[in-house]
Amino acid sequence: MNECIFCKMVEKKIPVEIVDEDEDILAFKDIKPQAPIHVLVIPKIHIPSITSITKEHSRIMMKIIKSIQNIAKKTDIIDSGFRIVVNNGENAGQAVDHLHFHILGGRSLKWPPG
Ligand code: AMP
Ligand code: ZN
């Protein structure tokens, strides 16, 4: 049985506030926002992490990039700037083992990150 919480969101078994969706990707508001705009974009298929991406995922990855562009426009952070974060593995604090792209914006973001 699949225990992945993001797969459950895709299956609509866990409610999320959807920002963008098509047959391959889902974007939803992060439940614990770290910035005024904090959206997660995920592939609908279970890809564990960025290191698991292969050439076969090219179309889905392009769709994720297009979705990020659309969300940045829709949430009005396209001109002010925003950050895309992909945590990978233990040292980065990856908590959910289903590939996800954080979109963070709506405030000035510090660099380097903690
Ligand atoms: P990461 O630490 O990069 O694996 O990020 C996982 C993200 O998923 C965190 O920012 C969480 O706040 C978010 N998250 C966990 N559960 C939910 C949920 N039920 N709805 C929306 N976001 C969630
Ligand atoms: Zn999953």
In a domain, 9, yes or no: yes
Ligand 1 neighbours (beta carbon < 6 A): 5, 14, 16, 30-32, 40, 87, 93-96
In a domain, 113, yes or no: no
State pLDDT tens for residues 29-43.
999 999 999 999 999
In a domain, 66, yes or no: yes
In a domain, 111, yes or no: no
CA distances from 108 to 4, 36, 37, 80, 111 (A): 32, 10, 11, 9, 10
State pLDDT tens for residues 57-103.
999 999 999 999 999 999 999 999 999 999 999 999 999 999 999 99
In a domain, 110, yes or no: no
Angle at 74 (CA atoms; ends 4, 104), nearest 5 degrees: 55
Separation of CA 21 and ligand 1 centre (Å): 17
Separation of CA 14 and ligand 2 centre (Å): 12
Instruction: Reply yes or no on whether the pLDDT at 1 is more than 90.
Output: no
In a domain, 112, yes or no: no
| Count of other CB atoms within 10 angstroms of residue 105 | 22
Domain count, the chain: 1
Structural domain that includes position 57: 5-105
Question: Residue 37's domain is classified under what CATH number?
Answer: 3.30.428.10
By residue count, the chain amounts to: 114
Mean pLDDT throughout 7-27? Answer: 98
